[in-house]
Structure formats: structure tokens, C-alpha cells
């Protein structure tokens, strides 16, 4: 017995040592992850569907929109009220702005998914009475969409100084179709590689009735998809969790939006800080310049993205569209038939739209490759110029018709959104890619900040105060990069009091503590007539 008692404390010591090792292993800090959702769009082949199936698809999305609107009205009506739920008085809207979904079900549905409370005798807002043939799963999918919209509006309202209007659905807004556990949801995916017409099919279990032979039936709705090798590389069928059915009125096509979650390690770097300024243009799609702590710019830190072939193709197509429009006006005035010209116009506009999308994708991919090269040497931040309200400032009657036409072809908002999304997939967190205002960046000298300048041509910039001359787009890109440095190091007004930085495109606020490493970049905000090495 004594020997056993002596051995016990030794075993405890060994266990403590082992436990201590386990604690050390668990306490190792892990790299944070950047998470999000990627949307893959696949066109629905409505040409393979019957007229009845297309009508059912239209009625399905219209009914979902009405149910989502009803849910939003109920939330707005009861957002300041409290209800007895499970013996306690609870509010519908929690303190963090989230909606209590289980309490919302008690207010709207007489059925329940839980076995303990399958049937309720009465509810204040009975949606089942208004939509008697809608299933419980479909109600919950519409509820999730409505709560997501309300919570997003609530989060924006907290950060905004103005009173934002409540979201209202005036267009068709689809719900998210859930695959469910073991394919028991309202959605099923069928892959048929031997089918020549459509390899991928969506099977929807909806509750829309149609009368046939004196009985009400619930037939399954089969949707053929234009599935290709591109989609096979993009995602696996096992990754599909939710799908949205969206109607694109401009192309008169139905699309299936598959949402795929992703998580990548966050981009962390111990290299010196640097800001890449990106100026978006018309003749030059994008111009990027890097401002680093070393105080000068080298040629490998500049990027000019120009695709003259596609721009020439767009120019030729626009000329053809203008000539057809003039001929169309004369035929309408003379009373001659003009249906063929309308068909030609729609075909040409579709071609122009496709070429612009190709040019935009080329420019974004080229810029992302350039950024990924720089991130190996610098702790990189990206500042993109956002020309807000530039089309409103050049409305009809401004006297420059050609400029208005070019501005309408300029997809700057889509460019910035795609750039942010692609960099997010590479681990760039939202505070590293910021859209700043572009106003007066092309009219200000990036060396002495003077506005006493002239632009003898579109690409030539001359400052009369410091006699500085360079490319105009390059000057604008440098000003955009300096604007982010200025916002981070020298904030003014409410941004200085709240210690935040605003993204002008998304409206998100970022903490200025995340830009504390910008201190070595402050030399770019100074101007000395003697020392111009960093200019």
C-alpha cells in the first residue's frame, strides 16, 4: 500500500506535465480566416420548358415576393412590442438588432417544426390563412429572407447619420431555396451526364396547385440548366446548400444563383507598408501606382491597363448603333415599317454589352495579378477612386454629348465590386481595399497640391506652380493613394472624433487603428521645394 501511495503523486506529476503540453499546443495563435459567399450563376434553359412550367416559375417568385413583403410589414408593426414566449416577456427585436425568428413564427404560423408545439390554435397574423397551400418550409425560407433584409437595414441605420428609408420590395424578390438535410428540403439537384440537352437539373418541390381531372396536384417543377465545364471547375454539386431563382429583365432570362461558402487565411504581412492607388478611366481602363515608405516610385510599381482592340471594337459597334438609330428616326417620321431595325438594335446592344463585360473581366484579372506580385514585398493596401455621381453631373443639356456617351459605357461601380470580391478570395480583408472619393484628383497636382494646372491633352498634366509634368492618369492615381493616407493619418470632423474611416462605395466604416502602420507614409503628404526625391 505504501508503494502504491508513493507512486500516485508521481503519476499526477506526469499527468500535469502532459496536460501542460496540451495547453501549450492549444494556445498557439492561429491565422484569422476571411469568410464569405461566392455566387455562381447558371442560366435556366427556358427554351426546353413548356409554357405552363414557365408560368409556374413566374407565379412562384411573385408569390414569394408577396410573402416576404407581409413578413416585413409584421416586423415593422411589432418591432417595439413584447410578447409572452415560454413564460417570459420577450421583444421581437433583440438588443443587437436581430429578429427572434421563433417568436416571429408564433406570431405568423399555426404550424411548427418542433414536436413539442405542432399546432397553435390562433396567431395574431395568420399567413397560413392567406396562403393556405404554402408549406411550412416555404414560409420559413421567406421568413429568413425577410429577417436578413431587416437586419441589414438595421445595421446600416446604426452607422448612418441620416434616417434611411425602410426596404420595400417593388420588384420580384426570390427566397433562398434550401437543399436541407439529406436532400429533404424544397430543392434537389440531379446530374445526368448522358442527357445531351441539359446535364444538370433542379427539382423544386413547391406548393403551387393546378387543377387537373377534378383534383389538386403538387407536381415537381424541373428546371434544366446550362451546365458547362466552367461550372464543373467552379464548384462541386455536394457544396450546393442554397439557390436563388432570379429573372433578368434586360435579357429576359431566368438564372439560378448558387451560393458557395469559402474561407481563406487572412493576408498578414510584416513587410513595410504601401498603398496602391487605382484611377479608373475611359481610354485607359485603369492606372495603378504604388506609394511605399522608400519614398520613390519605380517602373515595376506602375501598371497601365489598356485594351485597344476591344475599345476599337466597341467604338465600331457604337457607330453602327448610332447610324441605325438615325435611320430608325427617319423611318418613324416617314411612317415606314421599322421592325427589322429594332431587332438589329437589340442584337448590337447585346454584342456591345458582351464585349464590355469581357474588357472589364480582363482589366480586373490583370490588376489582381499585379497586386498579388506586390503583396510579396509590401504590407499592401489598395485605394480605388470612386467617381460618385459623375453621370448626374453630366446630364442631357450639359453641351458634351460624346462625354456623356462614354460615361454611360463606364462600369466603374461593377469594376470596384469585382476587384474587392477577387481580392477577398485572396485573403484581403475589407479594410485593406477602400474606395475613396475621386473628386478633384485629376485637377490637383500630386506634388505640391496646387490647382493651377493645365491639361493640353487628355494624357498630359502640367502644374504651373512647381513646373511638374507627367501623365494625367498617373497623377490622378497618386492623388487617390495619397487621399487614403490623408484620411488615415489626418482625419477631420466626425471621422476624427469616432476614429473611423469611410468606404464611399459600400458605406462601411473601418477602425483607424488598423491603419496605424501608415506612419512611414506621411512623407507623401509633405512638400518641400528643396527635397523632391520622393515626388
> Predicted confidence band at 43 (pLDDT cuts at 50, 70, 90)?
very high
Q: Look up residue 167 and give its DSSP letter.
A: P
> Which of 37-41, 73-77, 308-312 has the least mean pLDDT?
308-312
pLDDT value at position 534? 35
The SS3 of residue 391 is coil
Output phi, psi for 394, to 5 deg: -125, 60
pLDDT value at position 19? 40
Q: What is the C-alpha separation between 309 and 470, in angstroms, rounded?
A: 25
pLDDT digits (tens, 9 = 90+) for 197-236: 899 999 888 776 544 445 555 678 899 999 988 888 888 8
Q: Tell me how many degrees the CA angle 23-27-32 measures, rounded to the nearest 5.
A: 155
Side-chain-facing half-sphere of 472: CA atoms under 13 Å: 18
pLDDT value at position 316? 87
Yes or no: say if 203 and 220 are a contact pair by the CB < 8 Å rule. yes
The predicted model scores a pTM of 0.74
> Which of 356-360, 361-365, 492-496 has the least mean pLDDT?
492-496
- Whether the predicted pLDDT of 383 surpasses 80: yes
The SS3 of residue 171 is coil
> Which of 56-65, 76-85, 398-407, 414-423 has the least mean pLDDT?
398-407
H or E stretch covering 128: helix 127-130
How many other C-beta atoms are found inside a 10 Å radius of the C-beta of residue 113? 12
Yes or no: say if 412 and 505 are a contact pair by the CB < 8 Å rule. no
> Predicted confidence band at 146 (pLDDT cuts at 50, 70, 90)?
very high
> Which of 46-55, 267-276, 505-514 has the least mean pLDDT?
505-514
Q: What is the C-alpha separation between 453 and 469, in angstroms, rounded?
A: 10
pLDDT value at position 390? 64
Specify the higher pLDDT residue, 494 or 40: 40
Q: What is the C-alpha separation between 35 and 306, in angstroms, rounded?
A: 33
> Predicted confidence band at 30 (pLDDT cuts at 50, 70, 90)?
low
Amino acid at each position: 500500500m505504501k508503494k502504491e501511495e508513493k507512486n500516485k503523486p508521481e503519476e499526477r506529476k506526469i499527468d500535469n506535465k502532459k496536460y501542460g503540453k496540451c495547453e501549450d499546443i492549444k494556445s498557439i495563435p492561429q491565422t484569422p480566416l476571411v469568410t464569405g459567399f461566392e455566387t455562381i450563376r447558371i442560366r435556366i434553359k427556358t427554351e426546353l420548358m413548356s409554357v405552363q412550367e414557365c408560368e409556374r416559375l413566374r407565379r412562384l417568385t411573385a408569390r414569394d415576393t408577396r410573402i416576404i413583403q407581409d413578413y416585413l410589414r409584421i416586423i415593422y408593426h411589432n418591432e417595439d412590442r413584447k410578447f409572452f414566449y415560454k413564460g417570459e416577456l420577450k421583444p421581437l427585436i433583440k438588443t443587437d438588432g436581430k429578429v427572434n425568428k421563433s417568436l416571429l413564427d408564433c406570431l405568423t404560423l399555426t404550424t411548427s417544426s418542433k414536436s413539442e408545439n405542432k399546432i397553435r390554435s390562433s396567431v395574431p397574423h395568420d399567413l397560413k390563412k392567406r396562403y393556405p397551400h404554402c408549406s411550412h418550409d416555404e414560409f420559413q425560407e421567406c421568413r429568413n429572407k425577410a429577417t436578413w433584409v431587416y437586419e441589414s437595414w438595421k445595421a446600416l441605420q446604426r452607422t448612418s447619420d441620416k434616417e434611411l428609408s425602410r426596404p420595400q420590395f417593388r420588384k420580384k424578390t426570390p427566397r433562398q431555396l434550401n437543399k436541407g438535410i439529406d436532400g429533404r428540403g424544397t430543392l434537389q439537384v440531379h446530374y445526368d451526364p448522358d442527357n445531351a440537352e441539359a446535364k444538370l437539373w433542379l427539382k423544386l418541390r413547391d406548393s403551387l396547385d393546378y387543377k387537373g381531372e377534378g383534383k389538386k396536384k403538387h407536381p415537381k417543377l424541373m428546371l434544366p440548366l446550362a451546365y458547362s465545364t466552367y461550372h464543373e471547375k467552379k464548384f462541386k454539386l455536394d457544396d450546393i446548400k442554397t439557390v436563388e431563382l432570379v429573372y433578368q429583365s434586360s435579357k429576359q432570362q431566368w438564372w439560378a444563383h448558387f451560393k458557395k461558402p469559402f474561407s481563406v487565411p487572412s493576408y498578414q504581412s510584416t513587410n513595410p507598408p504601401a498603398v496602391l492607388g487605382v484611377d479608373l478611366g475611359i481610354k485607359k481602363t485603369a492606372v495603378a501606382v504604388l506609394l511605399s515608405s522608400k519614398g520613390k516610385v519605380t517602373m515595376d510599381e506602375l501598371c497601365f491597363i489598356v485594351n485597344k482592340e476591344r475599345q476599337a471594337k466597341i467604338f465600331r459597334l457604337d457607330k453602327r448603333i448610332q447610324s441605325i438609330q438615325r435611320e430608325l428616326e427617319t423611318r418613324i417620321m416617314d411612317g415606314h415599317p421599322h421592325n427589322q431595325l429594332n431587332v438589329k438594335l437589340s442584337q448590337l446592344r447585346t454584342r456591345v454589352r458582351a464585349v464590355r463585360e469581357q474588357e472589364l473581366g480582363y482589366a480586373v484579372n490583370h490588376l489582381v495579378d499585379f497586386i498579388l506580385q506586390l503583396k510579396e514585398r509590401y504590407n499592401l493596401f489598395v485605394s480605388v477612386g470612386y467617381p460618385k455621381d459623375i453621370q448626374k453631373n453630366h446630364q442631357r443639356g450639359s453641351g458634351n454629348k460624346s462625354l456623356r456617351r462614354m460615361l454611360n459605357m463606364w462600369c466603374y461601380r461593377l469594376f470596384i465590386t469585382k476587384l474587392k470580391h477577387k481580392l477577398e478570395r485572396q485573403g484581403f480583408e475589407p479594410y485593406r481595399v477602400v474606395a475613396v472619393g475621386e473628386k478633384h484628383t485629376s485637377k490637383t497636382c500630386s506634388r505640391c497640391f496646387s490647382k493651377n494646372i493645365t491639361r493640353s491633352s487628355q494624357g498630359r498634366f502640367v502644374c504651373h506652380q512647381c513646373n511638374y509634368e507627367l501623365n494625367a492618369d498617373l497623377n490622378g492615381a497618386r492623388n487617390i493613394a495619397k487621399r487614403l493616407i490623408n484620411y488615415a493619418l489626418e482625419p477631420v470632423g466626425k471621422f476624427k472624433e469616432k476614429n473611423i474611416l469611410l468606404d464611399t462605395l459600400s458605406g462601411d466604416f473601418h477602425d483607424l487603428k488598423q491603419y496605424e502602420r501608415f506612419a512611414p507614409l506621411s512623407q507623401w503628404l509633405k512638400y518641400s521645394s528643396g527635397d523632391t526625391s520622393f515626388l
